[in-house]
A and B are shown apart, each in its own frame.
Chain A
Amino acid sequence: MSELTLTVMRLGFLAVLWLFVIVAVQVIRSDLFGTRVTQRGARREAARPQQAQRQAPPQQRQQPATGGGRRGRNAPTKLVVSEGTLTGTTVALQGQTISLGRAHDSTIVLDDDYASSRHARIYPDRDGQWIVEDLGSTNGTYLDRTRLTTPTPIPLGAPIRIGKTVIELRK
């Protein structure tokens, strides 16, 4: 057997062995549990129906499905984080309660020193109007400039501030 063939086989073997390791690590990467973050840039339109499908079954439906049908034309469809470490994150609004806080089971896990573990929640009332409620947090939740004391309806585009994170509802 020629020297060249053996050298090629030797290097080829190392290459496929490492390829196996890399593929295995990729499998682990795609196997992580918990929340999935889908990057959406150019594929925004294409991704939307899938995302709706994916999100629908596992979410706990804390509200009866009546909220979806009665929404007016100005109803928000998504929640967008506009400032803070999670900037750019969106969550589709589909009648489910969204919890915010540092606790790991929150819908949006805030990585923010000023946030409490269960800081606030955002939920639709019977008419499909989205309400923000402070859950007794230490540093408070602000809608525009005012600190929340009672559950308050959220106007479209109004900034909700929790520590360094700012969230707003958009169409």
Chain B
Amino acid sequence: MSSTTNSPTHHTSTIGSIGTPSRRNTELALLVFAVLITVFAYANVGLAINEEVPSGLLSYGLGLGLLAGAAHLVVRKFAPYADPLLLPLATLLNGLGLVAIWRLDQSKLLQSIQQAGNAAPRQLMYTAMGIAFFVVVLIFLKDHRVLQRYTYISMVGALVLLLLPLVPGLGRNIYGAKIWIQVGSFSIQPGEFAKIALAVFFAGYLMVKRDALALASRRFIGLYLPRGRDLGPILVVWFISILILVFETDLGTSLLFFGMFVIMLYVATERTSWIVFGMLMSAVGAVGVASFEPHVQQRVQAWLDPMKEYTLSRQGQAGHSEQAMQALWAFGSGGTLGTGWGQGHSELIRFAANSDFILATFGEEIGLAGLMALLLLYGLIVERGVRTALAARDPFGKLLAIGLSGAFALQVFVVAGGVMGLIPLTGMTMPFLAYGGSSVIANWALIGILIRISDTARRPAPAPASNPDAEMTQVVRPS
């Protein structure tokens, strides 16, 4: 408040409290804007590659528009006070992802090696399934506190989901990382769903235990040191995340899992020492595992010297990949303003160009300026999640919202950092942008839960009933 009234000029201003409006029309306007941007990008790709407005423009635009419209109507009906930004932001990211996947579908090179061709229609189908999931969450989850009852069931569920890829015959090892399972003709990434179940478990668990974790501590050089026995839970979670790293050889899932716990622990206890402990433990764990696990070692080598990795791969040595270097070249070739939709050559990344490396396509075709905007869109989703946590009135909702948005932020960091060469590459995918059913469905469910919490948090409290007897009772008072 003071910032707006600090100026020396003697203007006048008035202070009054405000009720929160529902903001549904703002959401609708932003949704229309998001769909229009997507349609514009789609037309741009068609014009650049085939020199004509793509024939599917109407069906894609209408498809995305109808899905977004349906989601909006459900929010209007079942969560009228929800945050107005979450749905449009997710829709825009999902729409841009569809455009990039369709653009890679057009590449003759990728078609010739069976890496693309009909990915975009399937992604549109996954989007429909994701939005259906979102709708189901909003309709059936009337109150997020119901999830609190399933604290320990979600723990078991999350552990099962995390361990599924290790089951022989079910799990699939795709290029080193064992984070997939094969059911029929579908391959599913159970870690994406485990993320939500884990947030529910951590929120329920920390809500009960946070006082013990926060208060029983000694002070030592400015840090609160927790008692030895209170270190139990963090040690267990750390150990499980190390197991994931060793057996599934996926740094991303492990980091996401442990990082989410540390974030929620910090929020629940307000003790900085947990962050220090968490960072130390993850550093020790990662270095320890990297010293004996060859797949992790190789990822680290590829990160430290991508050019050497590229050369080795070109020489035909098995187990090496040229993608990390190619992704960096793609970013470089895009420059500040990018080459324009459909005019880059990110299809040269070949395998996983439309899933793990989709960010390289964006980096090349919309450049640094576009990529910054994309990252800001992710940042805004996370910000709205944290804002929801701040506004939530119940501790479980607060922790759940923080956990979900923290997991989302970590995933974006791990994937974007991996593709850009900031941290070693992992097998996770960019939420909403990348091709893949599990990711799209799980993230729409995540947005659904956040919208549910924000609806509860922003719903105006019912006005206290005016008591007609108040004046009477005030008059009759003992003297």
State the A residues within 8 Å of B (CB): 1, 5-7, 9-14, 16-18, 20-21, 23-25, 27-28, 31, 33-41, 44, 47, 51, 54-55, 57-59, 64, 80, 85-92, 107-109, 111
**Which chain A positions have C-beta within 8 A of B384?**
28
Look across to chain A and name the residue whose beta carbon is closest to the beta carbon of B23.
A31
Q: Bound state CA distance, A108 and B10, in angstroms?
A: 18
The 4 closest A-B pairs by CB, nearest first: A10-B340, A55-B16, A111-B2, A17-B373
**Which chain B positions have C-beta within 8 A of A1?**
47-48, 51
- Shortest distance between the CB of A121 and any CB in chain B (Å): 15
Contact call B1/A44, Cβ cutoff below 8 A? no
Given the interface pairs A21-B377, A24-B88, A51-B16, the reply to whether A16 lies near B338 with Cβ below 8 Å is no
**Which chain A positions have C-beta within 8 A of B51?**
1
Contact call B14/A40, Cβ cutoff below 8 A? yes
Given the interface pairs A87-B10, A107-B15, the reply to whether A20 lies near B37 with Cβ below 8 Å is yes
Q: Bound state CA distance, A20 and B380, in angstroms?
A: 11
16 interchain pairs, CB-CB under 8 A: A1-B48, A6-B48, A9-B341, A10-B44, A13-B340, A13-B341, A18-B373, A28-B383, A31-B84, A37-B14, A39-B4, A40-B12, A54-B16, A64-B471, A88-B9, A89-B12
**Which chain B positions have C-beta within 8 A of A18?**
369, 373
Contact call B14/A91, Cβ cutoff below 8 A? yes
**Which chain A positions have C-beta within 8 A of B16?**
35-36, 38, 51, 54-55, 58-59, 91-92
Task: List B residues 325-379 near A (Cβ within 8 Å).
Answer: 337-341, 343, 366-367, 369-370, 373-374, 376-377
Look across to chain B and name the residue whose beta carbon is closest to the beta carbon of A79.
B15
Contact call B15/A89, Cβ cutoff below 8 A? yes
Look across to chain B and name the residue whose beta carbon is closest to the beta carbon of A37.
B13
Look across to chain A and name the residue whose beta carbon is closest to the beta carbon of B96.
A17
**Which chain A positions have C-beta within 8 A of B26?**
27
- Shortest distance between the CB of A99 and any CB in chain B (Å): 12
**Which chain B positions have C-beta within 8 A of A47?**
14
Contact call A57/B373, Cβ cutoff below 8 A? no
Contact call B337/A20, Cβ cutoff below 8 A? no
Look across to chain B and name the residue whose beta carbon is closest to the beta carbon of A48.
B14
Given the interface pairs A34-B17, A89-B15, A90-B14, the reply to whether A17 lies near B5 with Cβ below 8 Å is no
- In the assembled complex, B218 has its CB within 8 A of some CB on chain A: no
Task: List B residues 10-53 near A (Cβ within 8 Å).
Answer: 10-20, 23, 26, 30, 33-34, 36-37, 40-41, 44, 47-48, 51
**Which chain B positions have C-beta within 8 A of A54?**
16, 18
Look across to chain A and name the residue whose beta carbon is closest to the beta carbon of B2.
A111
**Which chain B positions have C-beta within 8 A of A86?**
1-2, 5
Given the interface pairs A13-B44, A21-B377, the reply to whether A39 lies near B89 with Cβ below 8 Å is no
- In the assembled complex, B6 has its CB within 8 A of some CB on chain A: yes
Number of interface residues of B (CB under 8 A): 57
State the B residues within 8 Å of A (CB): 1-2, 4-6, 9-20, 23, 26, 30, 33-34, 36-37, 40-41, 44, 47-48, 51, 84-85, 88-89, 92, 337-341, 343, 366-367, 369-370, 373-374, 376-377, 380, 383-384, 387, 391, 463, 470-471
Q: Bound state CA distance, A41 and B10, in angstroms?
A: 10
**Which chain B positions have C-beta within 8 A of A64?**
470-471
Contact call A6/B13, Cβ cutoff below 8 A? no
Known: A12-B40, A31-B23, A88-B5. 20 other contacts (CB 8 A): A10-B337, A14-B367, A16-B40, A17-B374, A18-B369, A21-B373, A23-B30, A35-B1, A35-B17, A36-B16, A37-B4, A37-B5, A37-B13, A40-B12, A59-B16, A85-B2, A88-B9, A88-B13, A91-B14, A92-B16
Q: Bound state CA distance, A86 and B15, in angstroms?
A: 11
Given the interface pairs A6-B48, A35-B17, A36-B18, the reply to whether A27 lies near B11 with Cβ below 8 Å is no
Contact call A40/B13, Cβ cutoff below 8 A? yes
Contact call A41/B12, Cβ cutoff below 8 A? yes
Q: Bound state CA distance, A34 and B2, in angstroms?
A: 13
Given the interface pairs A10-B341, A16-B40, A86-B5, the reply to whether A44 lies near B12 with Cβ below 8 Å is yes
Contact call A24/B380, Cβ cutoff below 8 A? yes
**Which chain B positions have C-beta within 8 A of A16?**
36-37, 40
Q: Bound state CA distance, A44 and B391, in angstroms?
A: 33
